[in-house]
């Protein structure tokens, strides 16, 4: 069961790293003047969100398994 806790912690760290970086992208987006830069930042935010969402799902599943 210790490996389950380790995986849970690893995926929580990965998930929160993405969550903490996402608002920074939004700040850059809001302060940007050029449309090309805004488009690139929007694409970055979308890709980052899609990248960290599976980590959230894995964290929740492993959390329920550990509770059970």
Query: CA 16: distance to chain centroid?
Result: 6
How many CA atoms, within 13 angstroms, populate the side-chain half-sphere of residue 5? 3
The pLDDT tens digits of the residues spanning 46-58 come to 999 999 999 999 9
The pLDDT tens digits of the residues spanning 11-43 come to 999 999 999 999 999 999 999 999 999 999 999
Mean pLDDT of the chain: 94
d(CA 55, CA 61): 10
Looking at residue 1, what is its pLDDT? 83
Dmax (CA) of the chain: 51
Contacts of residue 37, defined as CB under 8 A and 6 or more positions apart, other chains included, come to none
Looking at residue 12, what is its pLDDT? 96
Looking at residue 38, what is its pLDDT? 95
3-state helix, strand, coil in the chain (%, to 5): 95, 0, 5
């Amino acid at each position: 069961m210790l490996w389950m806790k380790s995986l849970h912690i690893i995926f929580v760290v990965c998930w929160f790293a993405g969550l903490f970086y996402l608002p920074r992208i939004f700040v850059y987006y809001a302060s940007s003047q050029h449309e090309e830069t805004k488009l690139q930042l929007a694409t970055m935010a979308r890709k980052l969100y899609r990248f960290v969402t599976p980590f959230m799902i894995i964290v929740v599943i492993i959390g329920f398994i550990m509770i059970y």
